[in-house]
Amino acid sequence: MAETLLFNALREAIDEEMARDPRVCVMGEDVGQYGGSYKVTKDLYAKYGELRVLDTPIAENSFTGMAVGVAMTGLRPIVEGMNMGFLLLAFNQISNNMGMLPYTSGGNFKIPAVVRGPGGVGRQLGAEHSQRLEAYFHAVPGIKIVAVSTPTNAKGLMKAAIRDNNPVLFFEHVLLYNLSEEIPKGDYTCALTQAELVKEGKDVTILTYSRMRHHCLKAIEQLETENISVELVDLISLKPFDMETVSTSIRKTHRVIIVEECMKTGGIGAELMALIIENCFDDLDSRPIRLSSQDIPTPYNGKLENLTIIQPSQIVEVTRQLVNSLI
């Protein structure tokens, strides 16, 4: 095991896959000599050269379209969005091209592309840099969506995404890059479509992903002092959901809370709740609960920003009320 920061875990994964497979390449704004806005591609330009680590103009639709083209010809591109909010400019290329070409070509083309970058609510980054785009892309057929939450799953999921023959949207959280933990040495991957049972419990299931995993863990520390046993599941795969893990947990606890940084209206939690009602209705002893962000553009003001997203204290209070049958 080796202590590693999350951004370094991602860089290690990309470096190892580029060394393993000469078809893997990186493209995006400042990914080359500068090493990426959050240093995920640091030193890769010097090691692999400008043809495999390509600095692009500020034109997300163009270089994402280029990634589709090189994937069609057999390469395995990794597209970095300097901020995931900017990839709205490439929505057409991701949805109409990446997601659909394997189908509209009758299976003649594969699109083994990874689109990755930082998103989520940071610390006073303003509305346009605090986007959570997972729900925007959730309805697009033909793509996989994952959200990393630890250095260990960041490295394992990145390696798996690069090797996958389908397009993968790879969501990282801007406030988790400096998260540090010991990760396994050597070559390992994590399943792209499997949730992680973070902690076992018996009173209530909490389903979450990305940065909210860590908010939930803080809340669980307090809840354990009150003898409330929480089962925590990190979804990791946002498309498709690992409903087997979700259903197994709900059959055990009979209560469920979804905690997300996504907005409530049309968010990831909304789709997940619909599936829970369809598949687990008879296993529930109380209505499922969603804790989601406010449906407003994220304020720049720090105090207002904190009020728009779920905090550990809110998770504690709602969990306490649900277990005690107050809601």
* 319 three-state secondary structure: helix
Read off the tokens for 105.
Answer: 């070509």
181 is catalytic: no
* 114 three-state secondary structure: strand
305 is catalytic: no
Read off the tokens for 45.
Answer: 């330009």
Torsions phi, psi for 215 (to 5 deg): -65, -40
* 100 three-state secondary structure: coil
d(CA 136, CA 236): 17
Asked whether the beta carbons of 144 and 237 are under 8 A apart, the reply is yes
* Residue closest to 208 by CA, chosen among 189, 233, 183: 233
d(CA 31, CA 173): 18
Q: Spot the catalytic one: 17, 29, 129, 261.
A: 129
d(CA 40, CA 35): 7
Angle at Cα 308 formed by Cα 307 and Cα 313, nearest 5°?
Answer: 50
Q: Spot the catalytic one: 60, 172, 196, 231.
A: 60
If one counts every other C-beta atom within 10 angstroms of the C-beta of residue 96, the result is: 13
Active site residues: 60, 129
